Amino acid sequence: MSTPAARPSTEGSALERYFKITERGSSVSREVRGGFATFFTMAYIVVLNPLIIGTQEDSTGGFLGGGDGPNLAMVAACTALVAGVMTLLMGVVANYPLALAAGLGLNAFVAFGIAKLPEMTWADAMGLIVLEGLIILLLVLTGFRKAVLHAVPPPLKTAISVGIGLFITVVGLVDAGFVRKAEGGPLGELGVGGFLAGWPLLVFVIGLFIIITLHVRGVKGAILYGILGTTILAMVVEAVFDIGGQTNEAGELVNPTGWGLNVPSLPSSLVATPDFGLLGDFNLLGSFNKIGIVSAALLVFTILLADFFDTMGTMVAVGAEGDLLDEEGNPPNSQKILVVDSLAAVAGGAASVSSNTSYIESASGVGEGARTGLASVVTGVLFLLTTFLSPLVAVVPYEAATPALVLVGFLMMQQVKDIDWDDLEIAIPAFLTIILMPFTYSITAGIGAGFVSYVFIKVVRGKVATIHPLMWLVGVLFVLYFGIDPIKGILGVE
């Protein structure tokens, strides 16, 4: 008698059947454990995103959410809200152990590369994010994503990521006061007058070594634990020495060795009703009137590049970690994964917290056994609960948070090994991309220089036929972007 072919079990709870937990070789307990692991390895974004975008003025002098100063609690609440909702959606719709939140690098680009452009407001900048997300969604639904994917050489995409990592590192060092602008001297100097003066800088150094120690010892959640531990240390130092902030109520620098951003002390309450006042605060096409069609289109394309390719790489890497890929190296429900990720970009812009994207930290949850979207549901719920803890963000000084930016910069810098430095056709554009971002304090300048030089070198080496049409288009657009002022002068346009 022949043995009947094995069939997937239909036994178990509706939860197990919906998420195919048993079929993927997992269990409810492993999924819950994995969801917690992912949350604790990426919860730092609830602190870092407000510190990156919530502390910066747009070109008109306005802060996110309005007001005369940063509203970090509001930005933190909205950051956690969007991360929670979109991660839940990833779990329920795509059934994949992938979590989403505001993208590091992307948020820095929005803060320093878009919002500070002439006449641009935060609402205009977030409108570009919404537009970029809608375009990515269209690319996914129509299948055009493959055309975009193959247009840009992989090493150039790697250089963009490395350059953003260096830029984030510089932002962290400058915000902490570890590196400061020298009066009449070089571009920067160490601390105050070349010395690490003041208790806050000592706290920064200790915090950096704490995070490095946790990371090299393989502690999951190293960044989050490092921020929390350093913040507690900062509170103790402030309570003992009564240092105070660097500026007075008028924003004037009166205490160079004081705390940056916030004076660390316990808030009046640890839990508060979240303020979601940023939701819907965007202007979809406002940037086109402020900076022109060419500049706005370039910015959208630049954001699209960073967002789109990161997602493709992340979902495959997470799938490989959990042995979830098919014979062609694609994860299950890949189309649904990309659709949810595209919607996350739209949601991030619509909530004024920058584009949300998939996080490679999701691999930590997979490492704990997560194989289905139930883990993402758990992570999403934890993010939603975090919205009630937003007052805690307002007590974190720069010196406690910025060590995390330095480590993130290092992690992004590690990709530099994937660039073939012997191939001049890619090495020179990659070098210009990487080096110009931190030196010009402009991510756009670095990307533009890389694209233009790539096309130029191909032309002078007689390899015109190998240049993708999309690279030609973007190269020409960046030339117009860099030369917009002299071009206006020639044309007599104000």
Q: Indicate left, alpha or beta for 114 from its phi (over 0: left) and psi (-120 to 50: alpha).
A: alpha
Report the pLDDT averaged over residues 97-105: 90
Give the span between the Cα atoms of 14 and 20, in whole angstroms: 10
The pLDDT of residue 123: 94
In a domain, 426, yes or no: yes
Helix (H, G, I), strand (E, B) or coil at 247: strand
In a domain, 344, yes or no: yes
The pLDDT of residue 262: 75
In this structure, the answer to whether residues 437 and 357 fall within a common structural domain is no
Range of the structural domain that residue 433 is part of: 420-493
In a domain, 76, yes or no: yes
Q: Is the pLDDT of residue 60 over 50?
A: yes
Boundary (domain end) residue, out of 380, 414, 448: 414
In this structure, the answer to whether residues 108 and 143 fall within a common structural domain is yes
- From 175, 198, 208, select the one nearest 50 (Cα to Cα): 175
The pLDDT of residue 3: 44
In a domain, 144, yes or no: yes
Share of the chain above pLDDT 70, in %: 89
In a domain, 3, yes or no: no
In this structure, the answer to whether residues 436 and 363 fall within a common structural domain is no
Identify whether the C-beta of residue 182 lies closer than 8 Å to the C-beta of residue 173. Answer: no
In this structure, the answer to whether residues 136 and 243 fall within a common structural domain is yes
Give the span between the Cα atoms of 372 and 313, in whole angstroms: 19
pLDDT band at 399 (very low <50, low <70, confident <90, very high): confident
Identify whether the C-beta of residue 228 lies closer than 8 Å to the C-beta of residue 210. Answer: no
In this structure, the answer to whether residues 306 and 440 fall within a common structural domain is no
In a domain, 251, yes or no: yes
pLDDT band at 455 (very low <50, low <70, confident <90, very high): very high
In this structure, the answer to whether residues 463 and 400 fall within a common structural domain is no
Domain tally for the chain?
2
Boundary (domain end) residue, out of 392, 414, 436: 414
In this structure, the answer to whether residues 430 and 478 fall within a common structural domain is yes
In this structure, the answer to whether residues 408 and 429 fall within a common structural domain is no
The pLDDT of residue 9: 45
Boundary (domain end) residue, out of 414, 441, 461: 414
Give the span between the Cα atoms of 309 and 152, in whole angstroms: 10
pLDDT band at 93 (very low <50, low <70, confident <90, very high): very high
In this structure, the answer to whether residues 482 and 381 fall within a common structural domain is no
Which position has the token pair 């812009």?
Answer: 349
For the chain, the C-alpha Rg in angstroms (whole number) is 23
Give the span between the Cα atoms of 452 and 440, in whole angstroms: 17
- Token pair for 153: 């050489």
pTM of the model: 0.71
- Token pair for 491: 């044309």
- Sign of the alpha-carbon torsion through 234, 240, 241, 244: positive
Q: Is the pLDDT of residue 138 over 60?
A: yes
Identify whether the C-beta of residue 119 lies closer than 8 Å to the C-beta of residue 56. Answer: no
For 461, the enclosing helix (H) or strand (E) is none
In a domain, 247, yes or no: yes
pLDDT band at 278 (very low <50, low <70, confident <90, very high): very high
- Token pair for 92: 């329920």
In this structure, the answer to whether residues 408 and 425 fall within a common structural domain is no
Report the pLDDT averaged over residues 144-163: 73
**323 Cβ contact partners less than 8 Å away, ≥ 6 residues apart:** none
In this structure, the answer to whether residues 215 and 243 fall within a common structural domain is yes
The pLDDT of residue 147: 61
Higher pLDDT, 490 or 338: 338
pLDDT band at 58 (very low <50, low <70, confident <90, very high): very high
In this structure, the answer to whether residues 102 and 179 fall within a common structural domain is yes
